Chains A and B, each alone.
Chain A
């Protein structure tokens, strides 16, 4: 990842010698555009770079010379963040929770969306509006009752409780997105499958689901980002349970007051940011494609 962050600004410098444009006006406008966009890119990258750099410094060094490169590269910041601050176990918890929640919500969401999109039956509209309601209301409204529902069934402050809540709240978005996707798949294919003797179950798992792969990938990416970054749900219903990453990070930043181990804090932030950033850079084409797919249909 080090190379990724560091390579970025160097590339932007590379753009500045522009090729010859067709007219002087174009050249001026092109230069202005590039300048404006480059400034914004700098505003985005600088804080990230600074965090990354500070994560290798000692606390004193961060205070005394915030801009200098670290004199000694303190890799032990990462070790402290990972072990004594517990970021390692929080990371693992996040992977477990988000992994299971993603798997379950994708399966259930695809099933639900498929039935809603491909069959007409009484009540389908009601279900649709019920799902819409879940998208519109602020999650905050649900937190207090949810706290007691989970406590009553013994899932408060547990990872399974977190997983099932994540599944519930990610479901409406998943269904809406996949709903329009299943709508566009041709009906002839299901008919062909049924003529060939496939039942409903088989048609779904062996014919329709593989065909929906591009749609599934897009939703999975968005759900991953949403759940990985989720903060409110874990701090409300998992406050005393095994912490997930976002929760642990907040606790780490808040717990120590003025005696914060800044180097380790920056290391913890870097550990949180970097994996997702790497995944994004690898999949950015698909992701940007799915932003348009989600909004433009």
Chain B
């Protein structure tokens, strides 16, 4: 969800000065390094890394958390999971989300970003659309709202009898929606949920893409224009290829979010929706762990989730590279 830069690595570049200083190990320097590295890393190891590591071990036990005994049962938790229809349904829903959510969000935010940045006059200097910063500020609003508040708010909007959506639809004469349960109908529950997530992230990625497009030298757009490329051609052949790294970042963040999606699902349909149509793995994990107390099985679900996340990121990197993306993206 949060943009980060992973291109610079320790030990790379500009280390001449550092190397020169490396020889004298004074107390000042040693104490400095120990405290500065030690304190953050101890917290990090105890509260982040060790839970991750333990989860892998727990996933191979039948531990229920409150008993002192913990039997090692190998991979049978995983066998149980893959035979469990409800969990597989959740996996399927996550896969659907991971395919649909990033694509819809990215296309929509790309279109809006393109309109903002190259929507200006076709003569003279390359300019963005006039007065467009207002749209950027407004579209970003949902990103600042806690996901749970977004979920509750949209739960009310979708409310069959008093919600904003059905009220609007009936007021324009679509009476068949008078008390249509958007979240209670198996056909629409998932779509309605996806819309909420898209709603909350389009603005963020729009801002990200606007920044990316502004980073493209104006000469490129001018050259394309002189060569006779229209607006759509420019967007497809110039803008998109040049910000493909941003698009890849966006795709990965949205995908990781789609594989989690816990808050939105829990707020909109805490029980998993009609016929489990919006149930996701994270909900199932939470329920198994903190309601049923089957911590071993829940950890196995967590591992499946983690493996799928890594697999997804790997596929995105691979596809981007195979289709000729920037070679040093993963460096």
User: Do A and B actually bind?
Assistant: yes
Name A residues whose Cβ lies closer than 8 Å to a Cβ of B.
8, 11-12, 15, 18-19, 21-23, 25-26, 29-30, 33-34, 36-38, 40-41, 43-48, 50-51, 54, 62-63, 66-67, 108-109, 111-112, 114-121, 124-125, 127-128, 130-149, 164-165, 167-169, 171-173, 175-177, 179-180, 183, 187, 190-191, 194, 199-201, 204, 222, 225-226, 228-229, 231-232, 235-236, 239, 245-246, 249-250, 253-254, 262, 265-266, 269, 272-273, 276-277, 279-281, 284, 287-288, 291-292, 294-297
Bound complex: CA A284 to CA B135 (Å): 12
> Which B284-331 residues sit within 8 Å CB-CB of chain A?
285-286, 289-290, 295, 298-299, 302-303, 305-306, 309-310, 313
Name B residues whose Cβ lies closer than 8 Å to a Cβ of A.
1-11, 13-19, 21-22, 28-29, 31-33, 35-37, 39-41, 43-44, 46-52, 54-55, 58, 65, 111-112, 115-116, 119-124, 129-132, 134-149, 152-157, 161-164, 167, 171, 199, 202-204, 207-208, 211-212, 214-215, 231, 246, 249, 256, 259-260, 262-263, 266-267, 270, 282, 285-286, 289-290, 295, 298-299, 302-303, 305-306, 309-310, 313
Q: Is the CB of B122 within 8 A of A23?
A: yes
Residues of chain A contacted by B130 (CB below 8 angstroms): 18-19, 30
Bound complex: CA A41 to CA B139 (Å): 6
Bound complex: CA A25 to CA B121 (Å): 9
* 27 A-B pairs in the complex with CB atoms less than 8 angstroms apart: A23-B123, A30-B129, A33-B129, A37-B112, A43-B199, A44-B199, A66-B162, A116-B37, A125-B10, A128-B10, A138-B259, A141-B52, A141-B302, A143-B286, A144-B302, A169-B47, A176-B4, A190-B17, A229-B146, A246-B148, A249-B152, A250-B152, A269-B152, A288-B211, A291-B208, A296-B215, A296-B246
Residues of chain A contacted by B123 (CB below 8 angstroms): 22-23, 26
Q: Is the CB of A112 within 8 A of B37?
A: yes
Q: Is the CB of B149 within 8 A of A272?
A: yes
Q: Is the CB of B5 within 8 A of A149?
A: no
Bound complex: CA A254 to CA B111 (Å): 37
Q: Is the CB of B305 within 8 A of A187?
A: no
Partner of A116, one of B10, B138, B202: B10
Q: Is the CB of A33 within 8 A of B115?
A: yes
* Chain A residue nearest in CB terms to B195: A43
Residues of chain B contacted by A33 (CB below 8 angstroms): 115-116, 119, 129
Q: Is the CB of B10 within 8 A of A111?
A: no
Partner of A138, one of B162, B211, B260: B260
Interface-centre pick from B51, B167, B208, B303 (highest chain A CB count, 10 A):
B51
**Contact A296:B211 (CB < 8 A) given known A115-B33, A120-B18, A149-B50:** yes
Q: Is the CB of A50 within 8 A of B40?
A: no
**Contact A168:B48 (CB < 8 A) given known A253-B267, A296-B212:** yes
**Contact A140:B260 (CB < 8 A) given known A22-B121, A62-B162, A226-B1:** yes
Q: Is the CB of A63 within 8 A of B263?
A: no
Q: Is the CB of B136 within 8 A of A288?
A: yes
Bound complex: CA A280 to CA B285 (Å): 34
Q: Is the CB of A37 within 8 A of B140?
A: no
Q: Is the CB of A115 within 8 A of B36?
A: yes
Q: Is the CB of B303 within 8 A of A36?
A: no
> Closest approach, in angstroms, between the C-beta of B281 and any C-beta of chain A?
8
Interface-centre pick from B8, B35, B124, B267 (highest chain A CB count, 10 A):
B8
**Contact A135:B4 (CB < 8 A) given known A48-B141, A109-B40:** yes
**Contact A37:B302 (CB < 8 A) given known A21-B121, A180-B7:** no
Q: Is the CB of A183 within 8 A of B14?
A: yes
* Chain B residue nearest in CB terms to A167: B43
Q: Is the CB of B18 within 8 A of A250?
A: no
Q: Is the CB of A232 within 8 A of B249?
A: no
Residues of chain A contacted by B303 (CB below 8 angstroms): 141
Q: Is the CB of A177 within 8 A of B260?
A: no
> Closest approach, in angstroms, between the C-beta of B1 and any C-beta of chain A?
7
**Contact A125:B154 (CB < 8 A) given known A26-B122, A44-B138, A169-B48:** no
> Closest approach, in angstroms, between the C-beta of A219 and any C-beta of chain B?
9
Q: Is the CB of A231 within 8 A of B146?
A: yes
Residues of chain B contacted by A131 (CB below 8 angstroms): 44
> Closest approach, in angstroms, between the C-beta of B170 and any C-beta of chain A?
10
Bound complex: CA A46 to CA B32 (Å): 53
Q: Is the CB of B147 within 8 A of A231?
A: yes
> Closest approach, in angstroms, between the C-beta of B114 and any C-beta of chain A?
9
Bound complex: CA A19 to CA B129 (Å): 12
Q: Is the CB of A120 within 8 A of B262?
A: no
